[in-house]
Amino acid sequence: MKVIVDLCVVPMGVGVSVSKYVAECQKVLQDAGLEHQLHAYGTNIEGDWDDVFAAIKHCHQRVHAMGAPRITTSIKVGTRTDRDQTMQDKIDSVTNGNL
Amino acid sequence: MKVIVDLCVVPMGVGVSVSKYVAECQKVLQDAGLEHQLHAYGTNIEGDWDDVFAAIKHCHQRVHAMGAPRITTSIKVGTRTDRDQTMQDKIDSVTNGNL
Amino acid sequence: MKVIVDLCVVPMGVGVSVSKYVAECQKVLQDAGLEHQLHAYGTNIEGDWDDVFAAIKHCHQRVHAMGAPRITTSIKVGTRTDRDQTMQDKIDSVTNGNL
Amino acid sequence: MKVIVDLCVVPMGVGVSVSKYVAECQKVLQDAGLEHQLHAYGTNIEGDWDDVFAAIKHCHQRVHAMGAPRITTSIKVGTRTDRDQTMQDKIDSVTNGNL
């Protein structure tokens, strides 16, 4: 099952700056070979359900290993059976009026 | 890795009433033997990472099988390495002032 | 416009335990006279759009005033024009099969 | 109070394709003069708390007026008192290692 995911990992108990943890999660996604695109409040990811969620679990493990005692993560997951759709298709459908 | 999750599954393309799909997801969680608690905008779930996410995938499969062509789901996931905490502990820490 | 909201306020840079900040937000909602129900990963709130969002802004102001330098909050907002629905109605429609 | 927001508006009861509603929300943000950036699972917005939330309310009103009987929206809201930060700053802090 193909998914488009939006991921926002928030380490807690590590102070106010969390970008090094987010950067580490980008590496995890990169190493997993998943299409992903960082934005100002999360990261869009595209791939097979199992691959994407394995990578998200890996992010939690890595961020804890870096010293964060607590993590709260927000995930949005989209699946559809009516047609294939990429992350770029979703953006194009809004900006180009391909409804 | 133990998780506390908040899950909100939104079937799209099936009209305005979605409660039968949500009820089906409750059955999936029940059948998986996971602690869960429905609220007005989602369901709290407690369990092992792999069990909880297997059940969430199962929810998507079941809701698609019921006829929903598209699903958008919101998930919050909490993990911590500093101590064990149940869903009830989280509520108690706020209401009883066990900070 | 009537809304049902799910609110989850996450103070950052204040250590791992955040329940006193969540408890303060409960007081803000209480003082605003809004129907609300705490759960293990947030709080359901019911009321008029402007009242609810004024209270959420107030929560941010109060949590900053308590010393949190950074806050990341997740909100789900539901509105509908087809019928009135309370938080309890939403739960009943799933548990009682009033689809 | 300055906010960085991530907004995802999901119209329900209007079929499987929702991009025309999302496009309308882009117009609302544009007309409000707010910095915003569409991504594959939402839109980042930057501005004053009151301006941003007025625009989000406006989105709900407009999407209902277009015929959607029900809307469920996800919002992430970030505020901080320690320093000014733009949407681009957040991305740069991850990609450039300005931790």
- pLDDT (tens digit per residue) in B50-89: 999 999 999 999 999 999 999 999 999 999 999 999 999 9
Distance (Å, whole) CA B1 – CA A45: 23
For B9-27, what is each residue's pLDDT tens digit?
Answer: 999 999 999 999 999 999 9
A99 pLDDT higher than 80: no
Residues of A in contact with C12 (CB under 8 A): 10, 12, 16, 18
Note the Cα B75 to chain centre separation in Å.
Answer: 7
Query: How deeply is D63 buried, as exposed, middle or buried, from its count of CB atoms within 10 A (0-12, 13-18, 19+)?
Result: buried
| Predicted local distance difference test score (pLDDT) of residue D99 | 45
Tell whether pTM > 0.90: yes
Which pair of tokens denotes residue C59? 């929560």
Contacts of residue C32, Cβ cutoff 8 Å, sequence gap at least 6: C47, C51, C54, C55, C58
D51 pLDDT higher than 80: yes
Full strand arrangement of the beta sheet holding C2-12: C35-39, C42-48, C2-12, C70-80, D70-80, D2-12, D42-48, D35-39
> Which regions of chain D does DSSP assign to beta strands (E)?
2-12, 35-39, 42-48, 70-80
Using an 8 Å CB-CB cutoff, list residues of chain C that contact chain D: 1, 13, 49-50, 53, 56-57, 60-61, 64, 69-82
The residues spanned by each domain of chain B are 2-95
Per the prediction, chain A carries an average pLDDT of 96
Find the residue in A nearest to C9 (Cα): A72
For D5-40, what is each residue's pLDDT tens digit?
Answer: 999 999 999 999 999 999 999 999 999 999 999 999
Q: A25-63: buried (b, 16+ CB within 10 Å) or exposed (e) per residue?
A: beebbeebebebbbbbbbbbbbbebeebbbbbbebbbbb
Find the residue in D nearest to A98 (Cα): D19
Confidence of residue A54 (pLDDT cuts 50, 70, 90): very high
More confident residue, A53 or B96: A53
Contacts of residue A42, Cβ cutoff 8 Å, sequence gap at least 6: A6, A7, A8, A74, D6, D41, D76
* Mutate: best of D94, D96, D98, D99, partner A, most A CBs <10 A: D94
| Predicted local distance difference test score (pLDDT) of residue D66 | 98
Q: Say if CB D25 and CB D62 are below 8 A apart.
A: yes
Minimal C-alpha gap between A33 and chain B (Å): 21
- What would the mean pLDDT of B35-62 be, rounded to a whole number? 98
Q: Say if CB C73 and CB C10 are below 8 A apart.
A: yes
How many CB atoms sit inside 10 A of residue A92's CB?
15
- What would the mean pLDDT of D66-89 be, rounded to a whole number? 97
Helix, strand, coil in percent for chain B, rounding step 5: 40, 35, 25
Which pair of tokens denotes residue A52? 């994407």
What is this model's ipTM? 0.95
| Predicted local distance difference test score (pLDDT) of residue C96 | 85
- What would the mean pLDDT of A41-45 be, rounded to a whole number? 98
SS3 (DSSP) at B12: strand
Element (H, E) at B75: strand B70-80
Distance (Å, whole) CA C93 – CA D62: 27
| Predicted local distance difference test score (pLDDT) of residue D52 | 98
Residues of chain C with pLDDT under 50: 99
Residues of C in contact with A7 (CB under 8 A): none
Which CATH class for the A2-95 domain? alpha beta
Distance (Å, whole) CA B72 – CA B59: 12
